[in-house]
Structure 1
Amino acid sequence: MRKKKAFYLVFAALLTAGSVLAGCSPQKADTNTTDSGNGNTKGTSSSFSYLMHDKFINWLHEDKWYPYVEEATGTTVEFVPGGSNDDEYYASVDQKIISRTFPDSGIVSVSQATVYGAQGAFVDLAPYIDEFGPNIKSYIEANPTYKTLITNDDGQIFGLVAEAPRFADFIFYRADHFEKAGITEVPQTIEELTDAMRKLKAHYGKDDKNYYPMVGREGYIRFQSAFNAAANYDDGVSRGVYGNGKTGTDLYSEGYKKMVEWYKTLYDEGLIDPEWVAGSGTEESWESKMLTGQGSLSYDYLTRPSWFMDNGGPENDPDYNIAILPYLKDLNGNPSVQTTETQYNTLRAMVVNKDSEDKAETIIKFLDYLYSDEGQTLVSWGVEGESYKEEGGQKQYIVDFSEQESTPAGEPRWSFLNDRLTFVKPIDNDAFYSWNTDLVRNAALELFTDESLKTGVQVTYTADQSKKLADLSAKVNEAVTSGVTQFVTGKRAMSEWDAFLGEMEAAGYKDIVALQQEAYDAMYK
């Protein structure tokens, strides 16, 4: 039996804003009294103001499907810009709440929803969902984890969080490079991938000392799944530092050490970009290397293969060709399983100002439309005959992804990038995969299966646990990254691996694992 219900930001400390007056005077939007297509009646407000990140507002202004939402619901939303980056935005949320200028509704951090909600600043949405949100209510009841995340011990719901799409990064490569280097078989194992990179190095590296087969951006440790070294909660036991629900770090798995040794081989043989390993490479330098032929292989976000084809492809180099590699087999010879993001985005929540409780019915009815079949079709596919067609019971887009997404900023476009958070709503994963180029769409529909993907385990923390976790993670994550890189670059001998594990324990690695277990047990046992 679950011991508690929690609704806390994983890596945020409890806010120390002190007591807040119950409610905040909202920035009022213009109202109207027209009939609503979503249950509003004459005399009932069918508008509300909504605080969001500046870029979220820009996205909605560009999305061609959005005006249809307002038309269908009979509701006008006044967007209130709150800042251009997270630090600026959440500081503005605090200021607006304390100064009693928070709009009717808005996006806040989950910790802000929890703390300020308990102090009376936000509306308990549970009774409004019961009365005015049948589609939201059905979704909550059908998804127990979601119900656990948003509901406190008293049955109150101070904020709603959005569902995230279910996908993993792609391993992609220059197919033309592989062909010219004499690689005729698609690699299926780490060993075969290493052999392919050696052939690439021999072919392209002989004339270019700055050529490295594997290039990338941000963290270079990407192949945990192939080494059975991803953090997990298998059998309900916390193994490794799980982080935000993605791959994480399981230093104590046998495969993790083997993975580090493999990366050291890549580094020693010049098969991986040393700037990437050192952390000195940039996104722009990575793009340049993949575009100009100084790299052949990357492991990154699912839309990136299309981006490289659009930006470096046949118009610049007639031979340029990007292909996507099936996920490698693991150390046991089985298909590796990719850990995805958690199902719900628990970094942000949508709340309703307590002083705007007269708008709660309108807001819930508006959101409820996005949970309906009609609303889901609109936000995921658009309008039949304009952006999609249906044949044999299957929807398919009739607008071109690359053409639409390359539309200049500020101009209306059909866009269905539903990993962007604007309004909380469910995700149609098939539509999310399909809204892309043929290259990515076909790979996603083939590779993103129940057998190949494992959704990240959703774990929530108390405010005290979150504070401890944030403090420990800041120290441990840096120590792990720095320590592993020393082994990879040869600055530290692999014979010191056990000593390194002891240092990570002293830094708090196992304390994080224990905190994860505590939170998991409280939520699921």
Structure 2
Amino acid sequence: MAGLAATPMVGMLPRPVRAATGSIRIVMKDLLTTNPEDVAHIARIEEALAARGHDISIEIVDLPSEGYAEKLNLMLLSGDIPDVIYFQGGDEQIAQQGALMDLRPMIEGTEHLAPALWPHNTARMDNYPYLLYVFPARTKAPVMRRDLLESTGMSAPTTLEEWDALLRAIPGTEVDGNPVTYGIIAPNNTDELDAVFDPAFGIDQTWLQDDAGTWIHSRISDGERQKLAWYASLYADGVLDPEFVTSNWEVKEDKFYTGDVGVVMGTAGPVVGIYEAKMAQVNPGAELVLLTPPAGIQAIDVSKESRGFAVPVTTEQTDAVVAFLDFMASPEGQLMDRLGFEGEHYTRDGDTLAPTDKLGAWYPRFVYDNPNYYQPPISPLSELAQASLQQGVDGFRADNTFVWPADLAAAVDGAETYYRTNAFRFISGELSTEDDWDAYVQGWLDAGGQAMVDYAKEVL
């Protein structure tokens, strides 16, 4: 296993997937026998596998989407264990019991699956080899209305100084005859802001080294203090929406569409495409422009996949599972999974494909293509949405986070809760980054941070 962990998957000579026979059961959120499209999708996958010499039947295991993670754990504990399991949390407890396969030997040298992995997939697999999710990293892409940017008289920002100037210029600037109230908003906490602005303050990884070479958490770094001071200045000057801490994603998006806020961050790819379409629907003719994070990079957590597919050690259908996953990563499988059904989601005229207005309602179930490996004949994403994905690829930097042991869960939760509470107190002006910082650092260490630092020094 140590040898496999050090071996890059991409670039290996592909090995042909041997003909497989068997029946595999798949449980996945939002994959249901009550959805005719899901049933038809699985049926055509079975037919395509048969054409490749695989006699494989695929059974959908129904599990309600509401409370999926909890219901999945109850099902597994009851002894009902499918061959392919989609986790959206709760996988660590199962993996710690030795119940999930190390997927690296299964993927090694596969014809399509290994080359289709994104860089963060490979890194996460080395750190936590029990989940596979061949989807782009969930980076945050900042967007705003093009006419609003033009109305400020400024160019798209590329540095922190230019970002600061633009955000401060937005409040009061008119679009469609109405002044925009705030420059920027993020829902519930500063996560979306941090994803874009952290690297501009030197916070390019979770764990940083001080001048003495000692590992410290970025939450108590000088860069964190400078960043919170900047957020506080935006808050005090009416640039950062003061209701951000009580606003969920729906409120954030509504304020964006109605012109109450100028800049928001969307998850790269389909979400940015949704923002683009909804903005044009609410404000006919309005276009969005993709903005560049000031440092040009985003640190991506590669400690593990936060969701994805696992294979239990109890399965007797390993060959069939590998054949299925490798097919889904193939050009034929990706075309199916990305574009939906011919005549419904796209039309074909010879070798030319054209999307219908229903393509936007289709979503990939299993594999989201890596454009460096395969590109479908038509993209279900707009140019803006596709550019936001590429921005995440271009700015990718692996974070140095890692999976915490179960006995430190309380310490991690305690330190994070302490940070969240006090970050808002700094931003709102209740605390000062000049006068109260040392007390905050000590409080974070006491709340569980010291145990985290001690463990991190061993790991790093």
TM-score (structure 2 length as normaliser): 0.75
User: Is the contact between residue 38 and residue 73 of structure 1 (CA under 8 Å) also seen in structure 2?
Assistant: no
Give the aligned partner of residue 157 of structure 2: 187
1:491 to 430, 433, 442: 430
CA deviation profile, 1:258-306 (whole Å, cap 9, x unmatched): 1111111111110011110xx2112222122111111111123124443
CA deviation profile, 1:393-417 (whole Å, cap 9, x unmatched): xx997426x7412x3xxxxx4x34x
Deviation at 1:349, TM superposition (A): 4.5
User: Is the contact between residue 188 and residue 327 of structure 1 (CA under 8 Å) also seen in structure 2?
Assistant: yes
Aligned length: 427
User: Is the contact between residue 198 and residue 227 of structure 2 (CA under 8 Å) also seen in structure 1?
Assistant: yes
- What is the letter of the counterpart of residue 309 of structure 1? E
Q: Does 1:363 align with 2:363?
A: no
CA deviation profile, 1:204-223 (whole Å, cap 9, x unmatched): 59x98982121232322422
1:399 to 325, 336, 355: 355
Change in 2 beyond 3 A, CA 1:193/1:106: closer
Please list, as runs of the form range in 1=range in 2, the aligned pairs for 1:407-422 lying within 5 A after superposition. 407=361, 413=362, 415-416=363-364
Give the aligned partner of residue 227 of structure 2: 259
User: Is the contact between residue 133 and residue 368 of structure 1 (CA under 8 Å) also seen in structure 2?
Assistant: yes
CA deviation profile, 1:144-187 (whole Å, cap 9, x unmatched): 85664566xxxxxxx5533442462111112212223x323222
Give the aligned partner of residue 132 of structure 2: 161
For residue 61 of structure 2, give the secondary structure of its aligned residue in structure 1. Answer: strand
Q: Does 1:71 align with 2:47?
A: yes
Deviation at 1:138, TM superposition (A): 8.9
For residue 274 of structure 1, give the secondary structure of its aligned residue in structure 2. Answer: coil
- What is the letter of the counterpart of residue 275 of structure 1? E
1:474 to 413, 424, 442: 413
Change in 2 beyond 3 A, CA 1:199/1:91: closer
Give distance in 2, aligned partners of 1:214 and 1:456. 26
Give the aligned partner of residue 29 of structure 2: 53
Give distance in 2, aligned partners of 1:492 and 1:213. 23
Give distance in 1, aligned partners of 2:201 and 2:318. 50
Deviation at 1:501, TM superposition (A): 1.1
Q: Does 1:175 align with 2:141?
A: no
Give the aligned partner of residue 201 of structure 2: 227
Q: Does 1:271 align with 2:239?
A: yes
User: Is the contact between residue 52 and residue 106 of structure 1 (CA under 8 Å) also seen in structure 2?
Assistant: yes
TM-score (structure 1 length as normaliser): 0.67
Deviation at 1:497, TM superposition (A): 1.2
Change in 2 beyond 3 A, CA 1:473/1:396: farther
User: Is the contact between residue 267 and residue 489 of structure 1 (CA under 8 Å) also seen in structure 2?
Assistant: yes
Give distance in 2, aligned partners of 1:271 and 1:138. 44
Deviation at 1:367, TM superposition (A): 2.8
Change in 2 beyond 3 A, CA 1:52/1:271: same
Change in 2 beyond 3 A, CA 1:373/1:177: closer
Please list, as runs of the form range in 1=range in 2, the aligned pairs for 1:27-46 lying within 5 A after superposition. 39-40=19-20, 44-45=21-22
Change in 2 beyond 3 A, CA 1:398/1:339: farther
Give distance in 2, aligned partners of 1:488 and 1:161. 38
Give the aligned partner of residue 288 of structure 1: 254
For residue 342 of structure 1, give the secondary structure of its aligned residue in structure 2. Answer: coil
Give the aligned partner of residue 279 of structure 2: 312
Relative contact order (C-alpha < 8 Å, sep 6+): which is higher? 1
Change in 2 beyond 3 A, CA 1:478/1:208: farther
Give distance in 2, aligned partners of 1:500 and 1:39. 60
1:455 to 391, 398, 406: 398
Structure 2's unaligned 5+ residue stretches are 6-16, 51-55
- What is the letter of the counterpart of residue 297 of structure 1? V
**Runs of 4+ with deviation above 6 angstroms:** 1-5, 56-60, 122-130, 132-140, 207-210, 381-386
Which piece of structure 1 moves more, 493-502 or 302-311? 302-311
- What is the letter of the counterpart of residue 239 of structure 2? L
Give distance in 2, aligned partners of 1:479 and 1:100. 39
Give distance in 1, aligned partners of 2:401 and 2:353. 32
Question: What RMSD over aligned residues (CA atoms) do the two structures have, in Å?
Answer: 4.4
Give the aligned partner of residue 446 of structure 2: 506
- What is the letter of the counterpart of residue 350 of structure 1? A
Give the aligned partner of residue 338 of structure 1: 298
1:428 to 339, 361, 370: 370
For residue 161 of structure 1, give the secondary structure of its aligned residue in structure 2. Answer: coil
Deviation at 1:256, TM superposition (A): 1.7
Give distance in 2, aligned partners of 1:128 and 1:252. 41
Give distance in 1, aligned partners of 2:27 and 2:387. 37
- What is the letter of the counterpart of residue 171 of structure 1? P
For residue 171 of structure 1, give the secondary structure of its aligned residue in structure 2. Answer: strand
Give distance in 2, aligned partners of 1:214 and 1:343. 30
Which piece of structure 1 moves more, 426-435 or 315-324? 426-435
CA deviation profile, 1:81-105 (whole Å, cap 9, x unmatched): 23424xx444444444444333454
User: Is the contact between residue 201 and residue 224 of structure 2 (CA under 8 Å) also seen in structure 1?
Assistant: yes
Deviation at 1:127, TM superposition (A): 8.7
Change in 2 beyond 3 A, CA 1:209/1:165: closer
Deviation at 1:473, TM superposition (A): 1.9
Please list, as runs of the form range in 1=range in 2, the aligned pairs for 1:353-392 lying within 5 A after superposition. 354=314, 357=316, 359-372=317-330, 374-376=332-334, 378-379=336-337
Give distance in 1, aligned partners of 2:432 and 2:183. 25
